[in-house]
Amino acid sequence: MTILHVDNVRKTYGGNSYALDGVSFSVEKGEFVAIIGPSGAGKSTLLRCVNRLIFVTSGEVSVNGIAVTGLSNPSLRRLRRTIGMIFQHYNLVNRLTVLENVLHGRLGYKSTIAGTCGFYTASEKNRAYEILHAVGLHEHIYKRCDQLSGGQKQRVGIARALIQDPTLMLCDEPIASLDPSAAKIVMDTLRDINTRLGITVVANLHQVHVARDYATRIIGVNNGRVIYDGLPKDLTIDIIQKIYGSEAHDLILADGDTHGTH
C-alpha cells in the first residue's frame, strides 16, 4: 500500500533556482526511508511539502491517496493529524511541562473551543503517560522542557508525534543536534516505532552510516534532484560521491565504515 507519493514536485522561492527540481518517488507502508544529501540540497523543503508546511510550486504530493495541494483548511488539518513530525531543534514549547508538550499532539483532533482552551480528555492524558513510559521519560513527566537534555527533548518530540496515532512519521534531521549516544537512543526509538508499530518513517539524515544502519531504503538528493533511490547495500562510494559532490571527501574520511568498503 502506498503511503506517500511524490510526483514531479518543484519548489522555487522566486527566481530561476529550484529548491526542488522535479522530485518523484513513492513510499510503501512500513518502509524506513532515509533521505540523504548535502546541506541545502532541498531535504527539509521536500519533507515540509509533504504536510504542506511549504506549498509546492508545481507537481503533486499525496498521502494515503489524498492529494495535498488542493486541500481545504479543515481537510488539511485532518490529514496533518495522521502525519507525525519531529524536528532538528525539537520545536517544543520550552516553558511548558513534558506532559503538556506531548498532549499538543492531540490538538489536531480538537474542536476550535476545546483546542483553544487546551481541554484534554482523561484517556488522552493516560495515553500520554503510557507513551512517555514507552520512550523512557516517565521520570520527567512534570518537568519543564527547558530542564531536559537534547536527547530527552527529541524523545518528547517523538512522544508528541506518537500520540497523534500517525501512519507516517516525518523526521527533519532528528539527530543533527545530538551527541552520539543520544543520537543512538533516538534512532533506536525510531526503528522501534517503524518495526513494532508499523509506522512508516521518512527521515532526513546527514550521516551516511546512520542512514545505512537504520533505513530500509535510501534516497539521495542533490541540488533539488533525486540522484539515488534504492537499497542501502547498493549505495556505492561512487554514488555517495555523486550525491555529496565536493563535500564527499570530508564525509568519507569521517566515516570509517564507508572508508573500509573503498
Task: Give the interface with other proteins as residue ranges (CB under 8 A).
Answer: 51, 53, 76-81, 83-85, 87, 89-96, 100, 104-110, 112-113, 115-118, 157, 160-161, 164, 170
Q: Give me 172's grid cell.
A: 527533519
Q: Which residues of 107-123 are buried (b: 16+ CB within 10 A; e: fewer)?
A: bebbeeeeeeeeebeee
Cβ proximity to other proteins, 50 vs 205, nearer residue: 50
CB of 157 to other proteins, least distance (A): 8
The angle subtended at Cα 117 by Cα 53 and Cα 63, nearest 5°, is: 25
Shortest distance (Å) from residue 46 CB to other proteins: 15
Please report which helix (H) or strand (E) contains residue 152, including its range: helix 150-162
Query: 170 vs 240, which CB is nearer to other proteins?
Result: 170
- Based on CB atoms, which residue is closest to other proteins, 94 or 236? 94
Give every CB contact of residue 183 below 8 A, 6+ residues apart in sequence. Answer: 151, 175, 210
- Measured CA to CA in angstroms, residue 68 lies from 47, 56, 163, 189, 217 at distances of 13, 10, 22, 28, 24
- Using the minimum distance from each CB to other proteins, give the nearer residue, 105 or 220: 105
Residue 164 or 207 having the CB closest to other proteins: 164
Q: How far is the CB of 89 from other proteins (least distance, A)?
A: 6
For residue 14, the minimal CB distance to other proteins (Å) is: 14
Cell numbers at 87, concatenated:
524536528
Name the β-bridge partners of 7: 60
Cβ proximity to other proteins, 87 vs 228, nearer residue: 87
If we measure between CA atoms, which residue out of 91, 202, 208 comes closest to residue 157?
91
